[in-house]
Structure formats: structure tokens, C-alpha cells
Structure 1
Amino acid sequence: MDDALRHGIAMDTNSIKTTDFPSAIQRQQATQSHRDEGYTFHILERGKVVVDIDFQTYHVSSPAVVFLRPDQVHRMREIDHIIVSSISIDSEKLNVAYHKILEDLTPATPLSLSENAFSLISEYFSVCLKLYRKKAEKMYHHLVRESCNALVGLLVSEFLNQKSGEETVSRFDKVAKFFRKSLERNYCTLKRPGEYAALLNISTPYLNECLKNATGFSASQLIHDRIILEAKRLLYHTDKSVKEIAFDLGYADYPYFSRLFSKSTGTTAIAFRNQNLD
């Protein structure tokens, strides 16, 4: 998938069994934590899988779809005999409207599909895959891009269809949505609730009121959680030192960052890395 994605879109259908990885090394490679380069959908057509996404474990049964954003660390932990169809598309090839919706959906949990929805998505994926493999066709890149974006549109619509209460979004939910967008852009540079309240042109107490009503957490807790999540991702997925990670996340005071991480997770950053590498 990664090699094919250099053109902006990659897709394939695979049948995977536990017996495909007879050695310990092969099993380790197959279940290694990683990030995908594009916005990725895995359509589980058959079987069951246990997958970790950003350090949360999900048990997924077919038919279902798993959506992953490029920055999300994930790995496959356990599989039954599965058949999975996957498509990954980078932001340059992705329809602008779909891109915006997917950013708003994140983090999205694996989504179960009705039989009707799965049938339509599976049939259309098959058409897209046939076009994708006809690399000698004239208009190839246009056909693949347009057809794959239509497939993404179908998948996006399923996530939207199963979201509840969108027609009666409260003021609290709207503020929380804008806060999360601002947090995603600025968590490395803005660390105080008041800075986000200023971006939203509201007071800090009102920001906290909205967030507690919408999410159950304060602004400080959500800022803190987002920073720790990114720290975990970098520890999990890169070879950067803890000091480099602290600097990347906006902490010139490396000891302070280390204490913050330990207090949040109950372990040191080095211990967290070693535990997860094991």
C-alpha cells in the first residue's frame, strides 16, 4: 500500500489468515505498530479482527469499516480468517468536502455496516479496483481519482448516517467542535485554556462550561490529553529521543515534560516505549 500511495491512491483486497505468518518474526512484522500515509478505510468483508488505534483496543466483526487518519498509530493484534478491502488516499487527491468531513469525524471508532450498505460499498469497491488495475487506460488517473472519491463519499455517508443528534447540535457541542479544531492545529504552541478561549472569542469560564457539558472534561484536560496522545504516538512510531519529542511538542523544559508524561500515564516515557516495543 505504501509503495502504491506515492501516486496518491492505493487500494487492494486481501485474504489474511493466522497461518500466513508461521514464524514469530513474520507475526511480529504483521502486527507491528505503524501509521499509513493517507486517509485509509479498511472494509472488513469477512471474519473478525482485534485492532489497536491510538492505544485503544477495538474488537471488529464483519461487515464493518475502520477509518484511519494519517497521524493515527495502529496495529492488528489478532485475526480470524479475514477478507479486507482497503483504500488509502492522500489529502491532495481527496475531495475537499470529504476531507473536511473526515477531519470533523476524527476520532472515529470502527463502524458496523448494515447488509444493504455493505453490499453497495463492496460492489462499488470492486468497480474501483478494476479501474485502479487498468493502468494502461487513457484518462487512467482521472478515472481512478473520481471513482475512488465517490467510494470515499459512500463511506463518509455511512459515518454521517450513524451519527446521532446532528440536527439539534447544542451551543455546547458547537463550541466543543471549534475547540477541537483549534486544538488540533495549535496543541504544540498553545497550552493554556485562555489562549483557546481568545481564538473562539469567548471567556475561559464559558469555554470550560461548554466543554464539560459536551465532553465531560475541562479545556486543560483535553489539551493535556491531546499532547500526551501525540507523545505516545511519537514514542511508539519514531526513534526520536524523549528530549526531541518534548521539544517537538513545545516543551523546552525537558524535565517538566517528563514529569507531565509520568503523571499522566503512570510510567516514564522510556518505560512506555520499551513496554510497547516488547
Structure 2
Amino acid sequence: MREKTKTIPIKIMDDAFNTGVVIGKIALKDLNQFKAAAESHRDNYHLFFLQEKGTTSIEIDFHTYTIKPTAVIYIHPNQVHRMLAIKNTTVSVWAVKTETLNREYLALLEDITPTKPLSLKKEAFSIISETVSLCIKLSERNHEKLYQSPLKDSCNTLVALVVSQYLAQSKSVDKLSRFEFITKSFKSLLEANFCTVKKPTDYAQTLNISTAYLNECVKKATGYSVSHHIQQRVVLEAKRMLYHSNKSVKEIATQLGYEDYAYFSRLFKKITVVTPSAFRSKNHD
């Protein structure tokens, strides 16, 4: 059975030189060489993997992904993840703190979350791989007076290269319809406020539009209502805490903004078809 902690563990960046960046390339035969990554956790940084050789299996928010060469994946700090398997893998890994990221790139990362592994064409892999190599070389020059700035700038360039690959598969902002633009704005607000704001009316007021129009936009863009998205986001967070922590259902309900524990339990069952307690029992290892 999975050992549980009171809260979901958060891995803290080992940033000895206070750059807000850690980058390197590792070669691993199997998961035994990287046992710490096998435990479910969140990070206090944005995490990127560039798969160069071998195969990596990773679980992110209850979804399992197999990453093969040549591919990249981005993991947001909110996402709970763990390594499931590693087979003769060579992978470049870089972690970047939020405050180190260019604001424009940070906003784009929020937009593309959650991501799936993205296969890279030869040219894209080559330029990203070369940029990784440059960043690694810069990270090793910590004896230089201006060490921090070049490293931060080059890693932001690396992040931009990865984000651009994801964006190439989605619509650019200037091509979004009015419905899609409003839906994008709503989802951004939802991510920041789902624990405290539960009413579609409140989101509509923040966006300076009517509740009916917000619902129309979101439903046309996604096929689902505003309430559906609010409930799904709350339930995802509840699943994370039920699965990865030993907080009681009542504690989880309170943390997610529900003083009425019974109402929260009914909502969870409505969305998942099982009670919170049943979900926890079913998913114990």
C-alpha cells in the first residue's frame, strides 16, 4: 500500500547558486537508479523532460504516459506525478522557478497545461537539444561574476522553444474566436480561484459579461457548461488529495471551500459515481 503523508509532498529545488534554474542530462538503466522520483509528489518549479534515448513511463494526475525519443513533456507545479518505469533512458531535465520565467512564457505555460508528451521532428529536436547543451555549459560556469543572467536568459529561451512546439499544435490567440477567447479567460480565472469561487455568476462579473453569455461561450467552445468546468476542477483537486495524502474527507472538503461536508460528498459522487471514501479505498496500492 502506498505510504501516505498528511499533505501531498512538494519537492523543493536544490538551487545552491540561487539562479532559479537547475538543468542537466542523466542516463539511467532503470528506476532503481532514481527511486526518489517513484514517489508521488508536486514540485515548487516548472519541470521539463527531453527524451533522447530509451523509454520513460510517467503518471501525471491519474494518466499514464510513455515517453519515447525524441519527445518533450512539460509538468506544471500544480500537477502530481511520479515515475513508473525507466528503461535505458537518456534524458535532459530542466527545472525553472516561477519567478525566473519570463512573464509571457509563464502565461503561455498556464495556457497549455495540462500537456501530453510531444513528439519532436528532427529539426526541432536538434535546436532544443543544442540549447540544452548550451544551458548545461552555462550552468557549470558558476565561478563567473555574471553567471546568473546568461543562465536565466538561455533557459528562458529553452522554455520558449518548447512552448512554441506545443503552440504549433493549437490555435494562436489572434486566431481565437470570441467564444474561445472568453473561455480561455474563464479557465485562467478558474485555475486561480476554484477553491474560493464556485458560482458562474462571479466569474461572469469578473469578465464583465452576463452569466448567460459566459455559459454560451464556454459551452460552444468546449461542449460543457461553466458549472461543469468548476465542478471538474474541484473534483480533480479532491482526487489528488484523496489519493496522495491522508487528509480526512472533511478536511479536504474544507480546504476546497465546502463547509457542508455532505454536499461535497454528494458532488464528488455525482461527478465520479463513487463516494470520496470509496475512491480512496479503490485506489489504494
TM-score by length of 1: 0.89
Alpha-carbon contact 1:5-1:37 (below 8 Å) kept: no
Q: State the identity %.
A: 47
Match of 1:188 in 2: 195
| Alignment size in residue pairs | 273
Aligned to 1:61: 68
Write out per-residue CA displacement over residues 64-123 of structure 1, whole angstroms, 9 at most, x where no aligned residue. Answer: 111111111112223332211111111111111111111122222221111111111111
SS at match of 2:98: coil
Worse-matched range after superposition: 145-154 or 218-227:
145-154
Post-superposition shift, 1:264? Answer: 1.9
**1:189 match: secondary structure:** coil
1:99 maps onto 2:106 in alignment: yes
Query: Amino acid of the residue matched to residue 94 of structure 2?
Result: I
Q: How does 1:147-226 map to 2 (within 5 A)?
A: 147-164=154-171, 166-226=173-233
Contact 2:44 2:77 in 1 (8 A): yes
Residue 141 of structure 1: how far off its partner (Å) = 1.7
Matched residue type, 1:31: A
Give the stretch that moved more between structures: 135-144 or 2-11: 2-11
1:42-80 superposed Cα distances (whole Å, 9 cap, x missing partner)? 111112233222222223221111111111111222333
Task: Rate the CA distance shift 1:277–1:34 in 2: closer, same or farther, 3 A.
Answer: farther
- Segments of 5+ residues of structure 2 without an aligned counterpart are 1-10
Q: Helix, strand or coil for the counterpart of 2:100?
A: coil
Q: Which residue does the alignment assign to 1:21?
A: 32
Distance 2:233 2:87 in 1: 33
Output the CA distance in 2 between the equivalents of 1:46 and 1:146: 27
Q: d(CA) in 2 for partners of 1:88 and 1:236?
A: 25
- Give unmatched runs, 5+ long, in structure 1: none
Counterpart of 1:4 (choices 11, 14, 17) is 14
Are 1:251 and 2:251 an aligned pair? Answer: no
Distance in 1, Cα, partners of 2:218 & 2:231: 14
> How far is the alpha carbon of 1:237 from its aligned partner?
3.5
The alignment yields a C-alpha RMSD, in angstroms, of 2.2
Residues 189-214 of structure 1: CA distance to partner in whole angstroms, max 9, x if unpaired? 22122221222222222222211211
**1:76 has 2:83 as partner:** yes
Q: Helix, strand or coil: the match of 1:240?
A: coil
CA distance in 2, matches of 1:216, 1:231: 23
Q: Which residue matches 2:148? A: 141
Q: Which moved more, 1:268-277 or 1:38-47?
A: 268-277
After superposition, the C-alpha distances for 1:247-271 in whole angstroms (9 at most, x for unaligned) are 1111011122122223322333234
Using structure 2 for the length normalisation, give the TM-score.
0.87
Q: For residue 222 of structure 1, what is the amino acid of its counterpart? A: H
Partner of 1:122: 129
CA distance in 2, matches of 1:98, 1:165: 14
